[in-house]
Amino acid sequence: MDSERNPAENPSGPADWMDRLQGASALCALVFAGLLMGSGIGLAMAYVPSPSEAFDSVLYLRQQGGLGAILRALHYHLASGVVVATFLMVIFGVLGTSHRQRKWEFRLMVVAMLLMIGFCFTGYVLPMDQPAYWGTSVRLGIVGTVPVVGEMQADMLRGGPTFGAATLPRFYALHVAALPIVMVLLVLVGFKDALERAARADGVRLIAACGLISIAAWVLAATVQAPLEPRAATADTEYVPRPEWYFLWLFQFGKYVHGFQWVESALLPVLGIGTLVLLPEFRISSTKRTAGVLVLLTLMFGLGSLALYEDRDLKAKPQYEAGLALKAARHYKVECSGCHGESGKGDGPDGAKLDARPKNFTRADFWDDGTLAEIVEVTTKGEAPDMPAFGGRLSAEEILAIARHVEANFRPRAATSR
């Protein structure tokens, strides 16, 4: 290993602090990666990697609560945490002396950062909610713009020219099998010397620090629920996907190279990764390296802030429960109000054409203990002579949401309190 230092750098000065911060961020990354693998194993026991069942398996964890919901929240939040930790690990390596003292360890840190991004890329689609489907579709489109090999890579990931039944299983296999093997080998083989050095120098303190970091992560997971938007609707072309917060700067940058997306998908990654890989071979003063990092961070924060500013009028994406309620309100207005009326009194404009008078949902005697279930059954199967069946057009969850919408908006308070 190259143990030379830049004479302009004081080993006990700022560079030494950067090396210590690099060690701290590396420890966080290691703990986060371990918790991600552990929580991922737990989630895999309940997850079904099928386009038709994936969302339901994730929704089950959300609705049941308990340990399953906490594991999903832990997995979700630490996915962002591990990307940030590995990014800081590389940045502090650039600012300190480790990139020249231990060249190959620094390069492996760059590989670790890319690996964590790969985990996020392959795991993002697994919930199969709206952002999962549309966000992944956009990302695969960007992959397809890589010169020469882009379309082939995108088709391999999708399992064909379009997002289909083979896409989710391929991403799942990469996420839970291929990438974890690479990560374990990277930690146990690539960072073996670094782990041994750390254990000899601060073994007890590191164990205590790992414990504190883990406790903080579990507290966050138990406190802040993981988001879940409505089920992916492949026909909903009005949905506006947005990337994770730490990639907003890249999303904004893509707007300025529209029509030349290869700049975003190929040129920028090659320049960035190439610079990091070759950096240990050049003697660059700490002042220049600091200036370069400050320029990079300024651009990232600036572009990210600009993306948020331009999206200031974009409506917030509703979570599953809120989105289902909004959809139920739309379904009632389109499918039900013509007969039952917008006020639920059975006075809709089409009611006069029917053989039987539509139900009046505002009457107290309409409601009893089994009414909600009866509304679901009648809506699903229909009822002679006039009520059509919606079971073939709407999902069971959508029909239940309509029934709850009717109850919440039209049931008299006296009937509700019984």
Q: How many other CB atoms are found less than 10 A from the CB of residue 153?
A: 14
Give the C-alpha separation, 2 to 246, whole Å: 33
Q: Could you read off the pLDDT of 324-333 as tens digits, one per residue? A: 898 889 989 9
Which domains are delineated in the chain?
A: 14-310 (1.20.810.10), 320-416 (1.10.760.10)
Please, which residues have CB within 8 angstroms of residue 316's CB and are 6 or more apart in sequence?
none
CA torsion sign for 302, 308, 311, 317 is positive
The distance from CA 18 to its chain's CA centroid, rounded to whole angstroms, is 30
Q: What is the pLDDT of residue 5?
A: 46
Specify the pLDDT at position 118.
Answer: 96
pLDDT at position 254 is 92
In degrees and rounded to multiples of 5, residue 352 shows phi and psi of -65, -20
Which residue stretches of the chain have pLDDT < 70?
1-13, 15, 369, 414-418
What pLDDT does residue 388 have?
Answer: 87
Q: Which of 290, 286, 287, 281 is nearest to 103 (CA)?
A: 281
DSSP string, 250-290: HHHHHHHTTT-THIIIIIHHHHHHHHHHHGGGS---HHHHH
Q: What's the pLDDT score for residue 227?
A: 95
CA dihedral 54, 60, 62, 66 (to 10 degrees): -130
Q: Distance of CA 100 to CAs 51, 260, 290, Å?
A: 47, 36, 15
What's the pLDDT at 417?
Answer: 45
By three-state DSSP, how is residue 1 classified?
coil
96 CA to centre of own chain: 32
Q: Which pLDDT value is given to residue 416?
A: 53
In angstroms, the CA 31 to CA 210 distance is 6
Q: Which tens digits make up the pLDDT trace of 9-36?
A: 444 567 688 888 999 999 999 999 999 9
62, 129 in Cβ contact below 8 A? no
| Nearest to 289, CA basis, from 23, 5, 103, 94 | 94
Q: What whole-number distance in Å separates Cα of residue 285 and Cα of residue 53? A: 55
Q: What's the CA gap between 180 and 219, in Å, rounded?
A: 25
Long-range contacts of 54-62 (CB under 8 A, 24+ apart): 54/126, 54/127, 54/128, 54/168, 55/127, 55/128, 55/129, 55/231, 55/232, 58/126, 58/127, 58/128, 58/129, 58/228, 59/228, 59/320, 62/225, 62/226, 62/228, 62/320
